[in-house]
Amino acid sequence: MLEIVAASLIAAGTIFFVAGTVGLLRFPDIFCRLHALTKADGLGLALIALGVAILAATPGAVFRIAIIWFFVAVASATCSHLIARYARQSGARGQHD
């Protein structure tokens, strides 16, 4: 039973990773692409982490998975902000030139 729940969560997570990649390819500009990568991939990772945590045997492994999820979530939001800021600043400079 737990295996089925875990497999469903991992499968759903994979769908969100595919959605993020489709958004990355289809969306028109860098800002929209960042939406796809941060939000869809973020939930994809959370679902896969949850599924793997259900299968994991030890509390230590669950804690490690939680730490991985936490740092990836913080890093992805921060990186997308930095990329968007750089795109805005370099784009504004390009318009003046």
Partner 1 sequence: MRATSPMRLHASARVHSISSADSPDLPLRSSGQKVPALRTPAAPGRRRGLPRFLVSLLVLSVIWGALTDWRADALVFGVPAVLLGASVAFLLPQGYAWRLSPRGAAPFALWFAVQSVRGAIDVAMRAFAPRMPLRPGFRHYDLTLPMGAPRVMFINAITLLPGTLSAEIEGHTVIVHMLDTRIDLDPALDDLETQIRALFALPQNTEASA
Q: Is 5 in the site for partner 1 (CB under 8 A)?
A: no
How far apart are alpha carbons 14 and 7 in whole angstroms?
Answer: 10
Q: Is 51 in the site for partner 1 (CB under 8 A)?
A: no
DSSP state of 97: -
# of chain residues touching partner 1 (CB under 8 A): 38
How far apart are alpha carbons 79 and 28 in whole angstroms?
Answer: 20
How far apart are alpha carbons 49 and 64 in whole angstroms?
Answer: 10
Please report how close the Cβ of residue 9 comes to partner 1 at its closest, in angstroms: 12
Structure tokens at 4: 């089925």
* List of residues contacting partner 1 (CB under 8 A): 15-16, 19-20, 22-23, 26-29, 31-32, 34-36, 38-40, 42-44, 46, 58, 60, 63-64, 67, 73-74, 77-78, 80-81, 84-85, 87-89
